[in-house]
A and B are shown apart, each in its own frame.
Chain A
């Protein structure tokens, strides 16, 4: 028992803090709301420390599991935990209730529900941590849904407008459908093997000599699970909700939505792929081809639709779809490496490692730049009369702000350049680490599609930068402009969050040793295949049927 508790210590800290915050929601005083944010922040820091301790204990390929093998820790999940806690800290700072009545901040208006809001935020982050630890399909499913369920409420209470309610309803119904499809897939996986344990499943695949060849029920199941997970990562064919939902939610919540469910989705996809390939990353060719197509379509749809947008949040929603596409290129390379015609067999493991590293690195690169972009957006005022808790939404809102708010403008420019993938930002190395394995796996076609997409994406990111710096401010009706003037000073918490994010974007792009350090951390966490995988599989608990 104590064994289990120590394994899920970061989750316990976050979950406990979340429950405490939900309980504190009963109190309606300003002091309660103010302290809620501090508690959330402390909990995340504590969880980060706990996860870091696990990570150092697991260094070198060790693995820790509980008696029922529902929770299994190894280096792979730790990278995500550290990343999620770190970005989570930035996201909590973005949502800091800094107004005088502590009912929100310039872009967020949760009223008296500050404690509940932050509690839900922590619950969602707990879900990712559990996803990273889970070794059981049921637990994996519950963990993924724990990521999503709080976000539905967060969207709804993030600001008192009808669009937020509409977004929440849309998000919830499509999410519920995706969850059902995914659960359906899990049930077939269980039905064909009689086990819910991912490692037991992998072992069975291996012992039956069925690596790279699933039976048709299992294929159906994997398709269903992948379909459900494309909703989480906002990839084709379940990407269409992103525009409406991202636009409807308050800006800090949109930042949350763009990073947190996506990360959980990628963790889950990698875990599922690990199980069905028995850690060899040799999947049936149909699945590889499917991933290829999904990756190409996701990038292209995201970027082309992004070009058509005039609402920045909607634009960033489509860009978020495109970034999922880039990461799917890494996953395609991961699975395709085995089939690459002229790749020497001794190189395959190397390429697979690179591919996984690329995905992990890109998640970090995207997460940081994403916080910076949405953070700036949340501080810029919307033009004209607006409901409380609203910030800049459309391109017209930000016209000329590069001049009136030079620091915010430069921050947005850095974030956009990083999302484009220009050199001297972390985004450049993110793209580099994804294209390298794709070339190595001889996915020339996909590389070409990726670079064309990167060029298309420059079109709409530049539109943001161009509107901020090159366009004069839109003429505002005088009466409205008085109320929509931004506060002279940005709230401290948001300022800290944006500053940290933009410094990280630049440092990881310019100071190459730090880039190297992050890439090391990521590549250490990819040691899932080969000997490590064998060791894992040999110690995996036997299926208890």
Chain B
């Protein structure tokens, strides 16, 4: 198990380095092989995982941490896994595999570099989910920027340079504040390990200190998610990135932000805080209390949900439409986290996985359309159902999942997130109401697009952009999906079905780690907390001393 985790992180990074030495033609096969090996590792991980264990974030690190460490500053290469990070890792592996395989058809130049960057990205993203050391988390978190910068900037659309630089600068600027907070925690907690850091926050730090740290963490994570006022990099980056990049960007990179909020920002800033109106900070002369701040975050989420949906409604470019829908959807996801109760959190984590699958699939289908028609304009595409029935099937299927139709995976997570907001002590009914309006708007804009693109009169707009020939050369009339494309979409469609009808096993397995968060969140459940005192975490310093002979 231990070495499996190291392998999951190191294998793609090594694969990228080796991939730089294989020939240009073999690069994509090599990348796919590495991704396939990752899939095998992922299956082994899921098979060997102890689903009964609570598996909170404080589980001890593994042996490799002793080899790669800088004891001077309390840093170690610590990896471990709990149910939440395992499901997110599996999602990352599957979508990376799919994105690499899809790129066979759409990436024609500088292939070696492209697949090397994809593999680096894969390793870094998995590292974020598996890290159990705050600095290591940050290192992987930042490492995702470099490959994505090149993927957007080299293989992207017409505005690729601007999009790439905007993406990099937005996320980097935000995460510099996170870095300051991370270093602060590492110093005062004694080491960067999650156990030490969270112990420090929940038992030593003062409330205003925790609030500032929470803000520092949110600076980086909110840009990555992205929440409402700092979302402007997202539509551009998603639209300009090549399809493979868009898939990774929407499915996994955004989840690094929500995972950061769940796994880092909540334990650092909120978990274990007594429900109180104690003033923890000030904005100009307005005092800030923790309940007030959480409501403020909730408002940002709701604005993001409604604003993203309304802007998506008026988009001409279908890729941009899906990009704005991500702004809206991620609002639900963070709203569920801010609800700070069991259903909200469960819904939110499920949302991370489901949004990854659904939006990834949407971008793939859009890529398949674009490879054939070289346009994404909603007015130039029409009546695809007549010519491409298989594509139309998948399109409608994933649209329904994205809307959250009962029976698809989107329904479960959306329902739970909104339920969480309704029943939350920290938010309230009004947040749930507005979020539900967002669901309605989501149905409107998605169906609006589907109706225009899939049905309606058939238009035969075929642009042959140079360098964009599809697999079998020029076709006067583009054909339906080929075998590779169907094989790419089928696993995602299966996941939509399974998670829609049988979410219980996944939710059950995540109960442990999420309960570890919410049960110690006296803030969230004051009654429960008073009845059963929060489990006191062992002080790692004392434990370490006790272990000394």
Give A contacts to B, CB under 8 Å: 403, 406, 417, 420, 422-424, 428-429, 431-433, 435-436, 439-440, 447-448, 450-452, 454-455, 458-459, 462-463, 466, 469-471, 511-513, 515-516, 519-520, 523
Contacts and interface: CB of A to CB of B under 8 A. Distances in A.
Nearest to A455: B173
Given A452-B173, A469-B153, 15 more contacts: A417-B146, A422-B142, A423-B138, A423-B143, A436-B183, A439-B180, A439-B188, A451-B180, A452-B176, A455-B169, A458-B173, A462-B169, A463-B165, A513-B68, A516-B72
Interface string B68-88: 111111010100000000000
A512 B65 CA distance: 11
B184 interface: yes
Nearest to B183: A435
Given A432-B183, A512-B75, A516-B71, A466 B161 contact: yes
B187 A439 contact: yes
Nearest to B110: A403
B152 to A, nearest CB: 9
A511 B69 CA distance: 9
A292 B413 CA distance: 50
Contacts of B73: 432-433, 436
B265 interface: no
A461 to B, nearest CB: 10
B230 interface: no
A428 B70 CA distance: 13
B160 interface: yes
A487 to B, nearest CB: 24
B150 interface: yes
B146 A470 contact: no
Contact of A458 (B138, B172, B183, B188): B172
12 contacts: A420-B172, A435-B179, A436-B73, A451-B180, A455-B173, A458-B169, A462-B165, A462-B169, A463-B165, A466-B164, A469-B154, A519-B70
Contacts of B71: 516
Contact of A440 (B69, B75, B187): B187
A439 B177 contact: no
B72 A422 contact: no
B168 interface: yes
A451 B176 CA distance: 5
Contact of A512 (B68, B138, B176): B68
A146 to B, nearest CB: 35
A466 B165 contact: yes
B139 interface: yes
Interface of B: 68-73, 75, 77, 110, 113, 135, 138-140, 142-143, 145-146, 149-150, 153-154, 160-161, 164-165, 168-169, 172-173, 176-177, 179-180, 183-184, 186-188
**Which of A439, A452, A470: most chain B Cβ within 10 A?**
A470
Given A439-B187, A469-B150, A423 B165 contact: no
Contact of A466 (B68, B75, B153, B180): B153
A235 B165 CA distance: 29
A466 B152 CA distance: 11
B164 A470 contact: yes
B179 A451 contact: yes
A424 B184 contact: no
A141 to B, nearest CB: 35
Contact of B70 (A450, A458, A515): A515
Nearest to A451: B176
A431 B71 CA distance: 17
Contacts of A431: 179
What 8 A-B pairs have minimum CB-CB distances, sorted nearest first? A423-B139, A451-B176, A455-B173, A470-B153, A455-B176, A470-B161, A451-B180, A512-B68
**Which of A406, A431, A513, A516: most chain B Cβ within 10 A?**
A516
A451 B110 CA distance: 35
**Which of B72, B143, B177: most chain A Cβ within 10 A?**
B72
A373 B75 CA distance: 29
B183 A439 contact: yes
B293 to A, nearest CB: 19
B153 A428 contact: no
Nearest to A428: B139
Given A439-B183, A513-B68, A515-B70, A422 B145 contact: yes
A414 B110 CA distance: 19
A424 B143 contact: yes
A451 B142 contact: no
B77 A512 contact: yes
Contacts of B188: 439
A432 B135 CA distance: 10
Nearest to A463: B165
B180 A448 contact: yes
A403 B143 CA distance: 22
A108 B135 CA distance: 42
A450 B160 CA distance: 29
A364 B201 CA distance: 34
Contacts of A417: 146
B170 to A, nearest CB: 10
A440 B187 CA distance: 7
Nearest to B75: A512
A454 B176 contact: yes
Contacts of B138: 423
Given A439-B187, A462-B168, A523 B143 contact: no
A422 B153 CA distance: 18
**Which of A417, A454, A455, A515: most chain B Cβ within 10 A?**
A455
**Which of B140, B143, B169, B176: most chain A Cβ within 10 A?**
B176
Nearest to A420: B172
A455 B72 contact: no
B161 A471 contact: yes
Nearest to A522: B72
A135 B467 CA distance: 68
A417 B149 CA distance: 12
Given A432-B183, A435-B180, A512-B77, A470 B173 contact: no
B180 A436 contact: no
Contacts of B139: 423-424, 428
B75 A519 contact: no
A440 B161 CA distance: 39
B69 A512 contact: yes
B197 to A, nearest CB: 14
A508 B298 CA distance: 42
Contacts of A511: 68
A351 to B, nearest CB: 10
A246 B509 CA distance: 60
B245 to A, nearest CB: 14
Contacts of B169: 455, 458-459, 462
Contacts of A420: 172
B241 to A, nearest CB: 13
A439 B216 CA distance: 14
A278 B158 CA distance: 62
Given A435-B180, A435-B183, A452-B176, A423 B72 contact: no
Contacts of B146: 417, 422
Nearest to B188: A439
**Which of B75, B160, B186, B187: most chain A Cβ within 10 A?**
B187
A439 B184 contact: yes
A463 B188 CA distance: 36
Contacts of A523: 72
A175 B179 CA distance: 38
B280 to A, nearest CB: 16
A423 to B, nearest CB: 4
A327 to B, nearest CB: 17
Nearest to B172: A458
A458 B150 contact: no
Contact of A470 (B140, B154, B172): B154
Contacts of B140: 423
Contacts of B142: 422-423
Contacts of B113: 406
**Which of A423, A429, A458, A462: most chain B Cβ within 10 A?**
A423
Nearest to A422: B142
